[in-house]
Amino acid sequence: MNKKIQQFLFFLAGLVVSIGFDQWTKYLAVVKLKGKQPFVIWDGVFELYYSENRGAAFGMMQGKQGFFFLIAIAVIAVVVFLLFRMPSDKKYLPFTGCLFLLVSGAAGNMIDRVANGYVVDFLYFKLIDFPIFNVADCYVVISTLLLILLFFFVYSDEELEFLSFGRQKNKKSENGE
């Protein structure tokens, strides 16, 4: 099987599984937590607390659903563009994994916004009074941090040339051929 097709299938499989997990956890939050007292995992530290977020991270920009939808579409479009430009070598599997997590987070919350008009949040670190979040939010944060680590410590500038939106360097002219 063609390596590019394998890379795309890996991306799609990861996307389906991660979005499915996000939506399942949100469904469980609605069924088990909505209208009830928080479920305490670690008293004073962490609990499952149902919340409906009509804004973005930390509840900012309440009621701007159209804006968030457009941002999610833009993220998905850029990731698909990068996926098709990315070399299909095995060394890019971590990069592909980060991309499907990023898209999964954007898509998971977009599904909520379209279906409900809000995003279901339920993970709450009470110890530091951190804003309530969900699995899709975790995907976005984790994938972003991993991408930063990959850019700084794993891939060389040459290995990331496919990210440039301009013209690719002509290797023959650089070598004097």
Q: In one letter, which amino acid is 101?
A: L
Cβ(102)–Cβ(72) under 8 Å?
Answer: no
Cβ(24)–Cβ(97) under 8 Å?
Answer: no
Q: Respond yes or no: is residue 22 known to be catalytic.
A: no
Query: What is each CA distance from 144 to 19, 78, 135, in whole angstroms?
Result: 17, 14, 14
- Give φ, ψ of 34 to 5 degrees: -60, 130
Enclosing H/E stretch for 40? strand 39-42
* CB proximity list for 125: less than 8 A, separation 6 or greater: 45, 46
**Which residue of the set 22, 129, 137, 157 is catalytic?**
137
Q: In one letter, which amino acid is 159?
A: E
Q: Respond yes or no: is residue 121 known to be catalytic.
A: yes
**Which residue of the set 43, 89, 112, 121 is catalytic?**
121
Of 131, 136, 167, 163, give the one whose Cα is nearest residue 147. 163
Write out the catalytic residue numbers. Answer: 121, 137
